[in-house]
Structure 1
Amino acid sequence: MKRVAGLILAAGKSERMGSPKPLLRIYGRTFLEHIASEAQQSNLTEVKIVLGFRAELILERLPQLRQYVIINPKYEKGQLSSLISGLKTLEGASLDGVMPFLVDHPFVNRQLINQLVDSFSNHDNPIVTPTYRKKRGHPLIFGDELFPELLNAPVDQGAQVVVRKYQDKILHVETDEAGILLDIDTPKAYQEYVLNRRTLNGD
């Protein structure tokens, strides 16, 4: 099996939400605890967490995660800056790929992670993405051959620059996990999909 590290990107300001997204709750624990726990119990080689805005507050609430944390002092530059911070920390780890988790996409579980790692291990595609009813979601896997491009991509444009460049080489892995499409970045989305447990079908 290929060696894939998980990077949980949780450094942003959460401006649209109005409070730190890593500390919102799902399944009886915070978003950050849930993603970290599922990632750590999966087939990922290692898991790191990238914090920035309100990092000390988050670590005061979740001190057990401190050992996994990387601080991104440039978090205001966007998500890609956090991915770059994580990749730089992982340099020399002999990895085949990296799986970035977005903290506002909390509906992940170890079964999904393992499905993606298995697919990545059995194919040579540089990017793997889960799909639900043929729609792309998160988390993705980037192969190590793309690390230099991610490290040098324009921070204001994000990793999507690299995704678009390799559009025809992406491996799509169909799942039955509708949650891969859900972005919980506003109070309304949190109320609907987390507190009220609304599904994508409106059930």
Structure 2
Amino acid sequence: MKIKAVIAAAGCSLRMRQFKPLLDINGYPMIVWAVLNLKNAGVDEICVVTGRDTMKIERVLEAFNIMLIRNEAYQTTDMLTSIKIGLNAIMDKTTEGVFLLPGDNPMIHPSTIKALRQAFEKEQPSVLYPIYNKERTHPPLINSECFDRIMTYQGSGGLKHALHDFEQSSRQLELTDQGTSLDADYPGDYEELQAYANKYFGISKGLCEKIIEEVELPIQIKEHSNAVASLAIHMGEKLIQNGYALDLTIIESGALLHDILRTKPNHAAEGKLFLQDKGYTALADMVGNHMSLEHVKTPGLNEETIVYLADKLRKETKQITIKKRYEASLKYYKENASIRKRIENDIRKAEKLQEEYEVVTGEKLSDW
């Protein structure tokens, strides 16, 4: 199905007292996170409706192939007006559904977007509402049959009242993603969003570079980390093209920082503690697990295992096979049966991940 998205970012941010779309979260403006998470779920056709500071928003989004359109009357109109402007710009005969997302509700995981899309494609309700903690949250996914009603609605009550007549033919999907309920109306909300991002998401490349400078990482380790990041991002992009929903931001930042304390003994554990002290919980877990799959919670191809696999396929900056990568470790621990067993188990798991990737994408990693 052809699913698109409209992001309403035309408000004045009066309650926040700062312009919300450009507020920083882990090195990216809030509006960038909203676009990234939709893109990383395979939603490529996105319209962002702007109002205040349009040129600034256009600058931070210029790298994305998306539509931007301005609500010229943003100071005197409500969010429904911006939604109408966005729908009018993006909908055509091929459009079967549209996610509607407020610009200050950016930290929705790509896997949640995918889950909503799959449920919508299966049931094709008039509206699919995400539910978190028994409350309707964002973003609703609107069937094209509702578009005319939204566009012609002139009453009060915003989108909720505009869609009232479709209540019986709408559905709800229970979710565990707290990010669907987190917006940034007030300064306290913004702090909560930042804490949530630290717990579940990655950070920008710019922030990674500052951390790398802080620890004075040797050039050969930086080059290795860049090589791992390049491969990991490529793998993530290919998997998204084949239906996966992945946070490319944590893949990139996890790969760039996986060896952040490689100059120290037990560098994975030390790196985890270092990033935990900075508040980056999700990154800390990834760095702590990059040496072995033993403690990885979720099996199969995901952000954590992609970084792990990319690291095992690069010896410094050179391409290498998984068996070759572990050859020295097996030789070093040839007299230690328990460690050899763990290494051999990691080899089997890594080779299984590589096989899974190559089946899904049709691409041989040895060719990349």
TM-score, normalized by the shorter chain, greater than 0.5:
yes
Deviation at 1:157, TM superposition (A): 2.9
Could you say which residue in structure 2 is the equivalent of 1:151? 151
Structure with bigger strand share is 1
Structure with bigger helix share is 2
Deviation at 1:41, TM superposition (A): 2.1
CA contact (8 A) 1:101 1:138 kept: yes
| Aligned alpha-carbon RMSD (Å) | 2.1
CA contact (8 A) 1:80 1:155 kept: no
Could you say which residue in structure 2 is the equivalent of 1:39? 38
Could you say which residue in structure 1 is the equivalent of 2:142? 142
User: 5 Å matches for 1:1-203?
Assistant: 2-65=1-64, 67-76=66-75, 77-154=77-154, 156-191=156-191, 193-197=192-196
Output the amino acid matched with 1:52: G
Closer, same or farther in 2 for the Cα pair 1:57/1:45, shift >3 Å?
A: closer
Shifted more, 139-148 versus 61-70: the winner is: 61-70
Deviations 1:102-121 (A, max 9, x none): 11112212111111111110
Q: TM-score, normalised by structure 1?
A: 0.88
Q: How many residues align?
A: 197
Closer, same or farther in 2 for the Cα pair 1:92/1:164, shift >3 Å?
A: closer
Unaligned 5+ segments in structure 1 are none
Write the distance in 1 (CA, Å) between the matches of 2:154 and 2:73: 14
CA contact (8 A) 2:109 2:177 kept: no
Output the amino acid matched with 2:119: S
Deviation at 1:181, TM superposition (A): 1.5
Output the amino acid matched with 1:125: P
CA contact (8 A) 1:52 1:75 kept: yes
SS at match of 1:64: coil
4+ long deviations beyond 3 Å: 60-63, 195-199
SS at match of 1:145: helix
Write the distance in 2 (CA, Å) between the matches of 1:35 and 1:105: 7
CA contact (8 A) 2:107 2:193 kept: no
Q: TM-score, normalised by structure 2?
A: 0.50
Q: Percent identity?
A: 24
Q: Between Structure 1 and Structure 2, whose CA radius of gyration is higher?
A: 2
SS at match of 1:159: helix
